[in-house]
Amino acid sequence: MLASGSSRLYFSLPYKTMGEEKTTPVRAPAKDGPFPLSTLRHSVSHLMASAIGRLFPGVRFGFGPAIEHGFYYDFDLPRPLEEADLEKIEREMRKIAKASPQLTCVEVTRGEAKARLLRKGQSYKVEAIDLIPEGEKITFWGHSDWEDLCEGPHVDRLDREFHFKLLSIAGAYWRGDEKRPMLQRIYGTAFWTKAELDAHLVWLEEIKARDHRKLGTELDLFSYHQEAGAGFVFWHPNLATVRREIERFWWDEHERRGYQPVYTPHVSRETLFEVSGHLANYADMMYAPMEIDSMPYRVKPMNCPGHILIYKNRGRSYRELPLRMAELGTVYRYERSGVLHGMLRVRGFTQDDSHIFCTSEQLADEIAGVLDLVLLVVKTFGFEYTAYLATRPKDKSIGSDEIWTRAIASLRQGAAKVGMPLELDEGGGAFYGPKIDFKMKDALGREWQLSTVQCDFNLPERFDLHFTDSDGQAKRPIMLHRAVLGAFERFIGVLIEHFGGRFPLWCAPKQVALVPIREEHAPYLRTLAERLNAQNFRVEAMLDAGHMNKKIKDAQHAQIPFMLVAGEREAADGTVAVRRRGTREQIVMPFDAFLSGISKLRSTRALGLELE
RNA sequence: GCCAGCGUGGCUCAAUGGCAGAGCACCUGAUUUGUAAUCAGGCGGUUGUGGGUUCGAUUCCCACCGCUGGCUCCA
């Protein structure tokens, strides 16, 4: 119903660092034509609705807005749609656009609008009228014999040049409410030019090709199993290697920044989660209790209670603050079956969790420290990001206005210290405190929520935490929850798609492939493999009988960053023919030069593969 | 959880109410190759699980498990 005013910047490409590895088509943002792109898309959604009206008499219409990459429209139809229907609908749309291109708009009174819709049996639309604020204009937009309660704006004529495609069918609750009827939704997209539509379709293909579930199979990264249950990920050696490298990076950075490692049990007595409030507020997400010695125990859905027990284990001095505890803590949460999605939405996952206990004076510095770490991660993996400051929710929340104001100020100060711009998410905070959430934008321009920093005034109260201040008084610390990667499952799932399976050298499952030209050159390469192994490089030595070309193909498919090919000439002068992933180049260089080159790429965690 | 679709060797996909097939992978043998697939042979499936209809079900029906696209909810 609502067309937003102007088209948004629709797609950007932060792919500078990837050098020759770049495979994503470079696209300029889709342009507005005679009308804004979103207006076109909204009009095309109307065109689709009118075609549905002709093909499915008795259809009742829901909403049909323009969205980020296209549009949708919801319908209550007499029968389920099939893929094959989309083409039929498209054909009907073209017919209608050609036959009756003129759009019309009439303003009516509220009563008249209702009568008009009742007459047509459009019960959802009748309901929609009540959503329009009193005093606002009520208009119908239409073309041919079809019209729709709609605020507009729309394009003037449907015989202008534009290009569209219907993409998929899905179910959607009326007004997004799961207690209401399920409608059928058709998604589509539209552009002013064919080139832009084609580019968009190529982009959709690229997304499909980079799907972490597809690459997970192709590159032997992970699996899930019917016999193990939905939402549980099995990490294969290749992906476990990636994870271990990232964990190593993570611990290095945390130790450098004064975090202390802790480990806490996966299962605790239920009373712990009563005290923490999880049982009262989070029970839906928790698994049923298990009985141990006739007492109920629970699998942990979060790590904070465990960390708090460690804090509380003895008296704490102000000298210990800020106290930063870090754990790669595996938690289990019940997610409804329909929301599970590869590694990105699972039921058991490992958070890179930390809790910082500090005074309110220390808060801004601690936040700055966390944000600095987020920036390091963003840079290391080549993401772009947007940071959102989420403030006090309107309905229920705890803590005084003063403490909220101070915490929000601290979040702002922390961001200012590291020069981080903040978008505002008004009222988006947790009930227990404000936070900064990050959306990371991947190489395909899609956004993912990963990092988060949250102030918590609640748990220190509930667990009655304190420390002894310099004046001898017992005082209450503030707690900061933070995750930088978020969860390994989601982070690495995103990373697979971000890199398209082409991991940077430092965390690639295999880093160097060795290919002899003939089997008799294998001994030379074996000595190189030993030297690489001695430097802790992960080597795929393809030294068995077999043909060179096949090995080259296999190494390329496995996305191994470097391939060293050697025959008589190389063996004679201690050189290697280096072939970089994604290229056909053959650069002959001394092995020592190669070794120092990749050592540098590894130690700098370079994103690209340019050897100096 | 809800709506819709799907489930055939490790992977990608055929086929039919009447003996389940191909390519890749894997194994064996031959081939010794200068930058993306050498040739030949072989192994491998109770067609997701359970029930029903039928002379006969992988195919039709039901339930469950799992997956996919969305909705709703989230790291």
Structural tokens at position A501: 């399976």
Nucleotides of B under 7 A from a protein CB: 1-5, 7, 11-12, 25, 30-38, 48, 65-75
Round to a whole number and report the distance in Å from the CA of A171 to the C1' of B63. Answer: 23
pLDDT digits (tens, 9 = 90+) for A285-312: 999 999 999 999 999 999 999 999 999 9
Structural tokens at position A273: 């989660």
Give me the residue label for tokens 């119908």.
A140
Mean pLDDT of A252-268: 97
In A316-397 the beta strands, taken as DSSP E runs, fall at: 323-332, 348-358, 384-390
First and final C-alpha spacing in chain A: 56
Task: Give the C-alpha distances (Å, rounded to integers) separating A252 from A245, A384, A600.
Answer: 11, 23, 18
Nearest nucleic acid nucleotide to A567, CA to C1' distance:
B34
Query: A237: which DSSP letter?
Result: H
Round to a whole number and report the distance in Å from the CA of A561 to the C1' of B61. Answer: 53
Q: What is the mean pLDDT of chain A?
A: 91
- pLDDT > 70 fraction of chain A, expressed in percent and rounded: 95
> What gap in Å lies between CA A462 and CA A449, rounded to an integer?
28
pLDDT digits (tens, 9 = 90+) for A370-388: 999 999 999 999 999 999 9
Nearest nucleic acid nucleotide to A551, CA to C1' distance:
B36
Query: What sign for the dihedral angle of Cα A424, A425, A430, A436?
Result: negative
Round to a whole number and report the distance in Å from the CA of A349 to the C1' of B1. Answer: 21
Q: What number of residues does chain A have?
A: 612
Q: Please give the protein residue whose CA is closest to the C1' of the nucleotide B34.
A: A517
Nearest nucleic acid nucleotide to A451, CA to C1' distance:
B75
Burial A91-113 (b: 16+ CB within 10 A, else e): ebbeebbeebbebeeeeeeeeeb
> What gap in Å lies between CA A419 and CA A402, rounded to an integer?
25
pLDDT digits (tens, 9 = 90+) for A54-97: 999 999 999 999 998 999 999 999 888 988 899 999 999 999 99
Round to a whole number and report the distance in Å from the CA of A545 to the C1' of B31. Answer: 10
Round to a whole number and report the distance in Å from the CA of A181 to the C1' of B69. Answer: 19
The confidence score (pLDDT) of residue A28 equals 64
Query: A443: which DSSP letter?
Result: T
Give me the residue label for tokens 């499909």.
A208
Mean pLDDT of A5-26: 33
> What gap in Å lies between CA A187 and CA A167, rounded to an integer?
5
Pairing relation of β-strands A512-516 and A562-566? parallel
Q: Which residue has the higher pLDDT, A510 or A130?
A: A510
Nearest nucleic acid nucleotide to A185, CA to C1' distance:
B70
Round to a whole number and report the distance in Å from the CA of A487 to the C1' of B73. Answer: 18
Asked if the model's pLDDT at residue A534 lies above 60, the reply is yes
CA A82 to chain CA centroid, nearest Å: 29
Q: Please give the protein residue whose CA is closest to the C1' of the nucleotide B25.
A: A218
The confidence score (pLDDT) of residue A442 equals 87
Three-class SS of A126-189: HHHHCCCCCCCCEEEEEECCEEEECCECCCCECCCCCEEEEEEEEEEEHHHCCCCCEEEEEEEE
- Work out the number of other CB atoms within 10 angstroms of the CB of residue A503: 29
The confidence score (pLDDT) of residue A82 equals 87
Q: Please give the protein residue whose CA is closest to the C1' of the nucleotide B7.
A: A226
Residue A447's SS3 state is: strand
The confidence score (pLDDT) of residue A145 equals 87
The confidence score (pLDDT) of residue A16 equals 27
Mean pLDDT of A488-506: 96
Q: Which residue has the higher pLDDT, A151 or A592?
A: A592
The confidence score (pLDDT) of residue A15 equals 29
> What gap in Å lies between CA A456 and CA A460, rounded to an integer?
8
pLDDT class of A11 with cuts at 50, 70, 90: very low
Q: Please give the protein residue whose CA is closest to the C1' of the nucleotide B1.
A: A336
Give Cβ neighbours of residue A555 (< 8 Å, ≥ 6 apart).
Answer: A513, A515, A540, A542, A563
Q: Which residue has the higher pLDDT, A101 or A506?
A: A506
Residue A327's SS3 state is: strand
Nearest nucleic acid nucleotide to A490, CA to C1' distance:
B75
- pLDDT > 90 fraction of chain A, expressed in percent and rounded: 83
Query: A567: which DSSP letter?
Result: -
Query: What sign for the dihedral angle of Cα A180, A181, A182, A186?
Result: negative
pLDDT class of A234 with cuts at 50, 70, 90: very high
Give me the residue label for tokens 């309905």.
A395
Round to a whole number and report the distance in Å from the CA of A445 to the C1' of B22. Answer: 39
The confidence score (pLDDT) of residue A37 equals 95
Nearest nucleic acid nucleotide to A284, CA to C1' distance:
B73
Known catalytic residues of A are: 304, 333, 351, 353, 355, 435, 481
Q: Helix, strand, coil: what percent of chain A each, to 5? A: 40, 25, 35
Q: Among A17-31, A398-412, A451-465, A504-518, where is mean pLDDT lowest?
A: A17-31
Mean pLDDT of A44-61: 94
Pairing relation of β-strands A348-358 and A478-487? antiparallel
User: Which residue segments constitute the domains of chain A, with CATH numbers given?
Assistant: 16-210 (3.30.980.10), 231-264+303-499 (3.30.930.10), 505-603 (3.40.50.800)
pLDDT digits (tens, 9 = 90+) for A142-187: 998 899 999 889 999 999 999 999 999 999 999 999 899 999 999 9
pLDDT class of A536 with cuts at 50, 70, 90: very high
The confidence score (pLDDT) of residue A135 equals 84
Residue type, A432: Y
Round to a whole number and report the distance in Å from the CA of A225 to the C1' of B15. Answer: 27
Give Cβ neighbours of residue A121 (< 8 Å, ≥ 6 apart).
Answer: A58, A60
- Work out the number of other CB atoms within 10 angstroms of the CB of residue A9: 8
Whether A369 and A257 have beta carbons less than 8 Å apart is answered as yes
pLDDT class of A478 with cuts at 50, 70, 90: very high
Mean pLDDT of A596-612: 95
Give Cβ neighbours of residue A144 (< 8 Å, ≥ 6 apart).
Answer: A50, A96, A99, A100
